[in-house]
């Protein structure tokens, strides 16, 4: 279509449009197509006459807008595009919009104001109806800045007044940070945050930087700082807004005391939740976003019939919500905030092109306007083959026939797929056919060349490695686009994958960044204590900074910052009883006890591996078409991690050694589907599959999921748990013996003596660490002779991944699902009206609610209160002090939808998968840790419905600053697996036990999660290599040189602590250079004490290599005390001390003395490097 898919001189549609525009037609109808791909193909070209205009695309809703953007990037990955966002919650919901979306809207308006020809702007109808400030307001509030510009003295205050908020690290749009001569800002006007390097008050340079790793990318000449919200306080707007707000409240007869505090905030220019909905009060009149576009703009309307219907629905819904919110304090009139004069008014702004499937008459197309209207016939359609390809027995033959048929008709055929696994599968389908598949580059858009290549070779088909929204048929151009879903039996739902990276160093430093006074810390030598902050001391006139730890009886330990590597944040079930007593053998005994037990665990693991390595079973053949059909019935798009895990399992099946694989991934990341593929393949081989789960609730969930997924296949699936009637259980046990059952799901009941599993081929164990010791022993004896697949949501450190290579195969699913909507998270006071409205709303859409209240002593009083407010809502209470059977029955009632709302403690933090529950309240959310809030919120948002989480704080609103920051982080990071800030932030152990099978919960609690796995790694190496593990001491270094990060260079204490942890990883001069560049980039020129600290960290590394336990400096020499494990040969030391210059000598206490002209850290480093060379 158009100039992208045909040359401009041969495209009938293109020429028709150009003629219509040249004759100044105000309204053009394209009849026969309303496909997003048709319009995307037309506008993707950058060299046609259409590229002389700015383009605005109007869609009925956000999903169509996303489809268009997907198609646009398919046809031209480099096409410049912008998406308009609106409020993500109703102004009358009692909630408030996401600040990121408010800021993004300002970025869209700024881009519209500066739109260049060829730029493409996309807007769903509701976003375009939402009005904003007059254009002149934005024009007057843009701060252009470049090298040589002066930074105003009140710059920070100005940013705050524009809706920005200060942060230690700039990661989100609308945040800023000032660090000495470095100012970081994420302006909505730019796709990336910018970094100003300032000398005095003059800007020296401007760079864009990566928000994730904070590193600079490229230098830019100028930057535009624009407001991050539409509401702007100034001498004109502030009194106007206050007066209009008071007038609105008085007109609706709202008592003055109810709105007085908000009125005072308005009058003072102070922000509050819901302020963005009051934007009409700040300006004389709001305007449509279309007012911001230049005159050379063309409006493209995708499916005007759907848009008209959506308009009616939106206005009707707003009227209903506004009527219900008449007595709410914040409730602007609909017409003040939205354009309500009809969609026809939108079409009058610019020349408009309507893309409709059928010819329609609009009210504005009367005969008097007929000269302004042009009609063009053009047809495209979504393509569906006569019958599903994958349902055929010979997939390759059928696919080849389909492609061959269309190529023989003179069509050009393009296959489309994204993701390396899916691309390889498409290539594999055609590998033995006459069709030649040419894979093109991901960024390439050379359509005309590809057309010529297909004209020259009738067997050639191009495979475009990008996503298109559907398969499409373009009859005029004779082009067919076949999405990879065309080879599936069901339509795949998909959105772009979100992936969070795993990096051991980042994990370590980020967990420190969230450290706060009072958190538990593990010192490798002194045990578990409390973090008590950083303390600067002057020792002999030299400034030094120490990490202060508090132990039992208020004993304190001052740890020099260069020894930060000796401590870890405690990750595990916290308790004050864990805190050690300094000066006792308590901690040493604890470590010895854990290490002793871990040696047994390591021996057993290696023994099991040896047994498994000697056991053999027949290998499986390659998957057949039935397997591919089952695979294609999965209605969602698999993530790459899921596909890799599935391929890992299929590869295991091709070996003769039984599989022993662990699938590890966060809650809801798709482990169950991986298990289903594994089970299907085993049942195809005529073998029994057994699935074990630790709780009855989980077995019921698995039964429902597996029966639904296998509904089209002749497999007999049974359940065994205490809820199965005795007669039914007896029948199942009998049929297990006779082989009539293909798959059985149960608790530890499956391990009972009366159950015989004679044809067992695969054992799937869910949450293995939650089984008891005896059960695990039985599982272990079974698992080395059959295929075993364990599923776990417990996070695994990278070090453990390395230690388990060859012992247990691990597949990690680190990619969030593609079918989930981000969870909207709100911070609210405990307000009865808000709670009732949200509960009613969830029940009205057929959903369920979690209400978290973590105080057992008051949970029943809250239950009574909620029942009074919601007498018809079925509420159940659950907490850890209930009898196990009673608690389980409560959970099962909730699972079976016999209960609308579960009022419970944090006992639901893991092990509950209720896709129907999509609203959660967390009472006193300010008292929870960040990771705990993340875990709890992970109970919802596990279906395709939008989920809502309400973080309730006291009515007074008085919460400490740290709690405010925790709540802000959890609120802003709403996506499942939005992980770097959360999933790796303040990581805690989930569930009691570990992924290895042995019941080690007590030992993990005793030493913490990280140290436990470090000790396990040591034990595995010792047992495997038969060499005792050597503990390398952290040296004591005493040099009279200031080595610290000055607080005026890095004022944020937690950021400083995180960098101390990061710098402790220095092992080479290259590391110093890299970290120095990073610090200079983010904070400005590195001060001398910090350079000294980096050198000190390198000296520490060399001391460890030389097994130096103590290094001390005097006026003109340094002295070294070695351990008996030093690699420095005795004859080398004797040779050095025998030199005539007396540079090297021994002191009476056996220390090596080295005379130096000047005591500097680089000189010390050079001496140690020289000693290391003597070890070769």
Span 586-603, pLDDT tens digits: 788 888 877 777 777 677
As given in the structure block, the two tokens for residue 167 are 């942060």
**Residue with more model confidence, 700 or 805:** 700
Residue 273's pLDDT band (cuts 50, 70, 90): confident
pLDDT at 597: 73
Cβ neighbours of residue 835 closer than 8 Å, sequence gap 6 or more: 866, 869, 921, 950, 952
User: End-to-end alpha-carbon separation of the chain, Å?
Assistant: 70
pLDDT over 60 at 191, yes or no: yes
Q: Are 474 and 371 in contact (CB under 8 A)?
A: no
Q: Which CATH number fits domain 599-816: 3.90.226.10, 3.40.50.300, 2.130.10.10, 3.90.1150.10?
A: 3.40.50.300
Q: Is 1037 helix (H, G, I), strand (E, B) or coil?
A: strand
Identify the H or E element spanning 106.
Answer: helix 99-113
Give residue 982's pLDDT. Answer: 38
> Tokens representing 668?
């809801």
Instruction: Calculate mean pLDDT across residues 460-487.
Output: 90
pLDDT band at 616 (very low <50, low <70, confident <90, very high): confident
Cβ-based neighbour number of residue 239 at 10 Å: 12
CA distances from 1157 to 1114, 1118, 1143, 1164 (A): 11, 11, 10, 11
Q: Given CA atoms 961, 966, 967, 971 in this order, what sign does their dihedral have?
A: positive
Task: Tell me how far apart the alpha carbons of residues 1141 and 843 are, in angstroms, rounded to a whole number.
Answer: 88
Cα-to-chain-centroid distance, residue 170: 17
| Residue 362 to residue 357: CA distance in whole angstroms | 15
Confidence of residue 495 (pLDDT cuts 50, 70, 90): very low
Burial class (CB in 10 A: 0-12, 13-18, 19+), 101: middle
Question: What is the per-residue pLDDT for 1054?
Answer: 75
Per-position DSSP letters for 759-779, written without gaps between them: TEEEEEEESGGGS-HHHHHHH
Q: What is the per-residue pLDDT for 826?
A: 85
Q: Which CATH code, of 3.40.50.11180, 3.40.50.700, 3.30.360.10, 3.90.950.20, is assigned to 2-135+287-377?
A: 3.40.50.11180
Predicted confidence at residue 1003, as pLDDT, reads: 57
| 28, pLDDT greater than 50 | yes
Average pLDDT of span 718-726: 87
Q: Which residues pair with 631 in a beta bridge?
A: none
Q: Which CATH number fits domain 824-972: 3.30.230.10, 3.30.420.40, 3.30.1330.10, 3.40.50.300?
A: 3.40.50.300
Specify the CATH architecture of the domain 1106-1173. Answer: Alpha-Beta Complex (3.90)
Candidate ranges 269-283, 611-625, 881-895, 930-944; pick with highest mean pLDDT: 269-283
pLDDT, residue 37, reads: 92
Residue 851: strand pairing partners: 903, 921
pLDDT over threshold 90, residue 243? yes
Contact call for residues 486 and 385 (beta carbons, < 8 A): yes
**Is the pLDDT assigned to residue 804 strictly greater than 60?**
no
User: What is the topology classification, in CATH, of domain 143-225?
Assistant: Penicillin-binding protein 1b fold (3.30.2060)
Residue 1021 pLDDT grade (very low, low, confident, very high; cuts 50, 70, 90): confident
DSSP track, 1112-1127: EE-SSEEEEEE-TT--
CB 939 within 8 A of CB 850: yes
* pLDDT mean over 52-68: 93
Is the CB of residue 920 less than 8 Å from the CB of residue 827?
no
Task: Quote the pLDDT of residue 290.
Answer: 96
Hunting for tokens 């639901």 — which residue is that?
A: 908
Please report, for residues 365, 719, 732, the alpha-carbon distance to residue 758 in angstroms, rounded to integers and kept in the order given: 77, 17, 14
Q: What is the mean pLDDT of the chain?
A: 83
Residue 466 neighbours by CB under 8 Å, 6+ apart: 73, 74, 77, 416, 418, 442
Per-residue pLDDT, averaged over 384-390, amounts to 63
Which residue bears the tokens 């959903």? 847
Spatial separation of the C-alpha atoms in residues 297 and 352, rounded to whole Å: 9
Q: Which of 126-140, 386-400, 638-652, 757-771 shows the highest mean pLDDT?
A: 126-140
CA distance 968 to 624: 50
pLDDT at residue 648, as a whole number: 93
User: Would you state the pLDDT for residue 370?
Assistant: 54
Residue 345 has pLDDT above 80, yes or no: yes
């Amino acid at each position: 279509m158009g100039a992208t898919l045909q040359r401009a001189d041969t495209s009938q549609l293109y020429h028709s449009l150009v003629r219509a525009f040249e004759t100044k037609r105000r309204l053009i109808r394209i009849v026969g197509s309303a496909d997003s791909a048709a319009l995307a193909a037309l506008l993707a070209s950058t060299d046609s006459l259409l590229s002389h205009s700015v383009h605005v695309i109007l869609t009925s809703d956000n999903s169509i807008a996303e489809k268009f953007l997907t198609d646009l990037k398919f046809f031209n990955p480099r096409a410049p595009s912008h998406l308009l966002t609106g409020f993500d919650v109703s102004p009358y919901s009692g909630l408030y919009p996401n600040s990121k979306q408010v800021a993004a809207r300002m970025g869209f308006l700024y881009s519209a104001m500066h739109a260049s020809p060829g730029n493409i702007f996309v807007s769903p109808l509701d976003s375009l109806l939402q009005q904003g400030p007059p254009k002149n307001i934005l024009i007057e509030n843009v701060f252009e800045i470049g090298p040589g510009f002066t930074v105003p003295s009140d710059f920070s205050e100005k940013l705050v007044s524009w809706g920005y908020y200060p942060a230690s690290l700039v990661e989100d749009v609308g945040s800023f940070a000032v660090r000495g001569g470095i100012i970081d800002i994420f302006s909505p006007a730019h796709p990336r945050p910018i970094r100003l390097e300032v000398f005095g008050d003059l800007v020296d340079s401007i760079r864009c930087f990566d928000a994730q790793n904070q590193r600079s990318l490229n230098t830019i000449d100028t930057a535009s700082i624009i407001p991050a919200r539409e509401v702007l306080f100034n001498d004109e707007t502030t009194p106007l807004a206050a007066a209009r707000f008071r007038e609105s409240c008085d007109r609706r007869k709202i008592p003055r005391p109810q709105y007085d505090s908000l009125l005072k905030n308005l009058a003072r220019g102070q922000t509050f939740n819901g302020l963005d909905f009051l934007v009409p009060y700040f300006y004389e009149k709001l305007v449509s976003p279309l007012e911001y576009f230049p005159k050379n703009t063309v409006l493209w309307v995708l499916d005007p019939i759907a848009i008209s219907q959506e308009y009616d629905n939106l206005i009707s819904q707003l009227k209903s919500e506004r009527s219900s919110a008449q007595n709410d304090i914040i409730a602007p009139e609909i017409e003040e905030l939205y354009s309500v004069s009809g969609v026809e008014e939108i079409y009058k702004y610019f020349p408009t092109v309507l893309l409709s499937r059928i010819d329609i008459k609009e009210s504005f197309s009367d005969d008097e306007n007929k000269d302004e209207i042009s009609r063009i016939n053009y047809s495209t359609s979504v393509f569906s083959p006569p019958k599903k390809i994958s349902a055929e027995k010979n997939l390759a033959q059928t696919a080849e026939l389909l492609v061959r048929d269309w190529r023989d008709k003179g069509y050009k055929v393009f296959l489309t797929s994204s993701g390396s696994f899916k691309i390889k599968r498409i290539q594999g389908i055609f590998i033995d056919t006459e069709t030649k598949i040419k894979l093109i580059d991901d960024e390439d858009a050379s359509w005309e060349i590809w057309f010529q290549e297909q004209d020259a070779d009738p067997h050639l088909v191009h495979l475009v490695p990008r996503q298109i929204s559907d398969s499409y048929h373009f009859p005029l151009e004779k082009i067919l686009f076949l999405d990879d879903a065309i080879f599936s039996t069901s339509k795949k739902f998909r959105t772009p994958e979100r992936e969070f990276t795993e990096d051991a160093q980042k994990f370590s430093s980020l967990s420190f960044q969230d450290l706060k006074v009072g958190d538990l810390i593990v010192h490798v030598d002194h045990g578990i204590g409390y973090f008590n902050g950083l303390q600067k001391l002057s020792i002999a006139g030299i400034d030094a900074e120490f990490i202060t730890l508090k132990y039992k009886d208020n004993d304190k330990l001052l740890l020099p910052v260069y020894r930060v590597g000796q401590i870890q944040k405690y990750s595990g079930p916290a308790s004050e009883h864990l805190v050690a007593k300094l000066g006792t053998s308590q901690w040493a005994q604890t470590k010895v006890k854990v290490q002793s037990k871990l040696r047994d665990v390591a021996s057993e693991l290696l023994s099991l591996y040896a047994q498994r390595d000697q056991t053999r079973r027949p290998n499986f053949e390659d998957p057949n078409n039935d397997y591919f059909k089952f695979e294609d019935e999965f209605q969602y798009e698999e993530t790459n991690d899921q596909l890799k895990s599935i391929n890992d399992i299929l590869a295991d099946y091709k070996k003769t050694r039984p599989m022993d694989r662990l699938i590890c991934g966060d809650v809801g990341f798709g482990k169950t589907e991986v298990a289903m593929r594994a089970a299907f393949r085993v049942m195809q081989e005529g073998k029994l599959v057994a699935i074990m789960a630790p709780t009855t609730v989980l077995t019921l969930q698995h039964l429902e999921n597996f029966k639904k997924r296998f509904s089209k296949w002749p497999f007999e699936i049974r359940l065994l748990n205490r809820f199965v009637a005795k007669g039914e259980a007896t029948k199942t046990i009998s049929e297990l013996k006779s082989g009539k059952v293909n798959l059985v799901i149960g608790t530890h009941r499956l391990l009972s003596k009366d159950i015989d599993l004679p044809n067992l081929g695969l054992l799937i164990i869910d949450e293995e660490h939650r089984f008891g010791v005896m059960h695990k022993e039985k599982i272990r004896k079974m698992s080395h002779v059959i295929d075993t697949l364990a599923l776990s949501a417990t996070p695994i450190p990278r070090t453990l991944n390395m230690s388990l290579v060859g012992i247990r195969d691990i597949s990690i699913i680190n990619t969030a699902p593609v079918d989930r909507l981000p969870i909207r998270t709100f911070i609210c006071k405990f307000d009865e009206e808000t709670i009732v409205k949200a509960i009613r709303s969830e029940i009205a859409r057929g959903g369920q609610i979690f209400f978290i209240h973590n105080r057992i002593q008051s949970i029943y009083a809250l239950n009574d209160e909620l029942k009074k407010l919601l007498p018809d809502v079925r509420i159940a209470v659950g907490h850890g002090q209930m009898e196990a059977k009673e608690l389980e029955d409560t959970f099962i009632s909730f699972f079976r939808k016999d209960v609308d709302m579960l009022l419970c403690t944090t006992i639901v933090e893991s092990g509950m998968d209720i896709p129907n529950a999509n609203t959660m309240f967390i009472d006193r959310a300010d008292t929870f840790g960040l990771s705990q809030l993340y875990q709890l919120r992970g109970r919802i948002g596990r279906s395709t419905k939008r989920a809502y989480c309400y973080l309730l704080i006291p009515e007074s609103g008085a919460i400490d600053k740290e709690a405010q920051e925790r709540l802000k982080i959890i609120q802003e990071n709403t996506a499942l697996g939005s992980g770097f800030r959360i999933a790796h932030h303040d990581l805690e152990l989930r569930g009691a036990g570990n992924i290895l099978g042995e019941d080690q919960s007590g030992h993990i609690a005793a030493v913490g999660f990280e140290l436990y796995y470090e000790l396990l790694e040591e034990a595995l190496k010792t047992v495997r290599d038969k060499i005792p593990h050597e503990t390398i001491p952290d040296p004591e270094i005493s040099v009279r040189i200031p080595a610290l990060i000055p607080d005026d260079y890095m004022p944020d204490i937690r950021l400083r602590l995180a960098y101390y942890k990061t710098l402790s990883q220095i092992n080479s001069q290259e590391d110093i250079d890299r970290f120095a560049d990073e610090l200079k980039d983010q904070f400005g020129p590195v001060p001398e004490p910090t350079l000294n600290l980096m050198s000190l960290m390198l000296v520490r590394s060399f001391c460890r290599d030389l097994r130096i336990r103590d290094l001390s400096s005097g006026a003109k020499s340094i002295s070294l005390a070695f351990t008996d494990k030093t690699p420095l040969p005795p004859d080398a030391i004797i040779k050095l001390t025998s030199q005539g210059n007396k540079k090297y000598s021994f002191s009476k206490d056996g220390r090596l003395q080295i005379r130096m002209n000047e005591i500097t850290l680089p000189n010390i480093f050079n001496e140690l490097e020289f000693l290391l060379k003597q070890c070769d």
